[in-house]
Amino acid sequence: MVNSKMGSTSEPIISLKNISRRFSRTAAVDHLSLDIEKGEILGIIGRSGAGKSTLIRCLNGLERIDEGQIFFEGHDVSHLSESEWAPYRQRISMIFQHFNLLSSKRVIDNIALPLKLAGVPKEKRRERAMELIELVSLKGKELHFPAELSGGQKQRVGIARALAANPKVLLSDEATSALDPETTQSILELIADINKRLNLTVVLITHEMEVVSSIANRVVVLNKGKIVEEGRVRDIFASPQDDTTIAMLRIVTPQLPAEFAKRLKPEGDEAVIELNIAGDVAREPFLHLIEYESGLIPRILHGGIDTIQGEPVGRFFLGLPAKDKDKLDKAVSWLIKHGRYCEVLGYV
C-alpha cells in the first residue's frame, strides 16, 4: 500500500461553512461543514447520489452554493462572479474519470493547453509541459496523440495538464474508476508522490474504498449530501460507526463466511466472534495472548491484517470453545479491552 504523511494542522486551505446546494427541492449538498488541511490527501466517499460530484463542483466554483460560505486560503469565494473565479480556478485544478483530452492535439499540447489559455508565451509553455512530462513518467510520448496511449498514460497526461498552472489543490473526480487495478495502483502511487514532492493538497472523490485506503490520510463519508462519518483512514477502517461506512467497507474487508453465518444460533459448543484490531495488539501474537488470558485456544474462521497509513489494521472472525462460560467471558473481556470492536455473533 502507498502511504502519505498526515496533513498540516495549520489554517485550512479550504473551509466549508454550512454549505448547501439544491436542485429543485432536492439537496445534493445539505448544510455541510468541512475543513481541508494544506498538504493532506482527503478521500470523500459515498454511494451514487450521495452528493460527491456536486460537492467537488462547489469546491472549484462550477456549482454555486445556495447557502453557507466557502473560504479558500482565508478568502471568501462563496459568491464570486465567473470572472472573479478565474484566478482561483487556476489554483484549484481537477483531473477527470474520462481524461477529457483533446484528440486532435499531441500530448505536449494537451498539457500546455491551460497555459495557452492563460496567455503564457509558447516557449515557457513548452518548457513547463516538458517538466511535467518528466514528472508523470511520459518522456518519449510528448508527440503522441491520445489515441496512441493506454488508459493509464492518458490519465497521466490529465494529471500533468492539471498541474500546468502550479495549483495548490488537486481535485480528483473518480479519476481511477475507468482503469484496471494494476493501472489504478500506479496512478495512485503517482498522486501520492506528487502530494509529497509538491506539498499539494489532494481531494479524492471516489466510491472505491481501496482508493481511500491506498493513499488518503483522512476520509469523509457522505450520505444524502451530509457527512455521516469522518476521521483518519485507519481509524475508520478499524472501527466504522455509521451504517453507510459499514456497508461500503463490506466490499473490501473480510466478512463471516456464509457457511458459518447460516448456522449461527443462540447456543452451541463454539462462540463465533467478530473482532477488529489495530495498532500494537495487531503486531502481537494476539491469539496466544487470548489463550494465555483465558485458557481457550481460538481458531481463525476468516480474516486478515492489512497495513493502512503504516499501521496494521485487522478484521477477524474467531471461533472460541463455549462450554466453559467463565473462560469464554475472560476471553471476550480481553478482546473488548484490547480490540477496536468485538461482538459475539452467535454459536455453532
Collapse the DSSP code of 205 into the 3-class scheme (helix H, G, I; strand E, B; otherwise coil) and give the result: strand
Helix (H) or strand (E) holding 29: strand 26-36
Q: For residues 239-264, b (16+ Cβ closer than 10 Å) or e, as one string?
A: bbeeebbeebbeeebbebeeebeeee
The residues with which 231 forms a beta bridge, in sequence order, are 219
Dist CA 175 CA 210 (whole Å)? 13
The whole-number pLDDT of residue 9 equals 52
Q: Residue 179 is placed in which grid cell?
A: 482503469
Tell me the fold of 14-249: Rossmann fold (3.40.50)
C-alpha to C-alpha distances, 302 to 277, 314, 332, nearest whole angstrom? 14, 11, 18
Which residue positions in the chain have pLDDT lower than 70? 1-9
The whole-number pLDDT of residue 10 equals 73
The residues with which 158 forms a beta bridge, in sequence order, are none
Angle between helices 151-163 and 122-135 (to 10 degrees): 130
132: Cα separation from own chain's centroid? 24
Q: Residue 274 is placed in which grid cell?
A: 467478530
The reported pTM is: 0.86
The whole-number pLDDT of residue 178 equals 81
Same fold: 14-249 with 258-347: no
The whole-number pLDDT of residue 142 equals 95
Choosing among 3.90.1170.50, 3.30.70.260, 3.50.50.60, 3.30.70.920, the CATH entry for 258-347 is: 3.30.70.260
- φ, ψ dihedrals at 263, nearest 5°: -100, -5
Domain ranges of the chain: 14-249, 258-347
Helix (H) or strand (E) holding 201: strand 201-206
- Chain mean pLDDT for the chain: 92
